[in-house]
Amino acid sequence: QVQLVESGGGLVQPGGSLRLSCATSGFTLDYYAIAWFRQAPGKEREGVLCINRRDIGFYYSDSVKGRFTISRDNAKNTVYLQMNSLKPEDTAVYYCAADGSGLCFRTAKQYDYWGHGTQVTASS
């Protein structure tokens, strides 16, 4: 049974940091691409970052460049999203998604599996 479980979200002051984790099970992470998406209230889901099976990262949101990074630990079946210098506009539910081709795509519909999301709120 394939599962993706996000954790690490919470309330943080603007300028603060959080590290989100996406724990995977039911498939071999080594062969998959993992992307992070986010969805703010009243807005469409947008891609943030993706890491392909070769550990190459792709930014899908210009607003997070220089602040967010993505990494993976295949031995732990986990992908991380490090978020620094958080801004109020980063507030959203963050989702991780997996693609079995090992390739990264900007569009959400390309992904095979999804987690349930974790809330991130940057507010004073």
Give me the pLDDT at residue 27, please.
94
- Per-residue model confidence (pLDDT) at position 52: 97
Cα separation, 1 vs 10, whole angstroms: 28
The average pLDDT across 8-21 equals 98
pLDDT for res 62:
94
Residue 109 to residue 9: CA distance in whole angstroms: 24
- Asked if residues 93 and 38 have their Cβ atoms less than 8 Å apart, the reply is yes
pLDDT at res. 71: 97
Q: What is the pLDDT of residues 47-63, one digit of tens each?
A: 999 999 999 999 999 99
Average of per-residue pLDDT values in the chain: 97
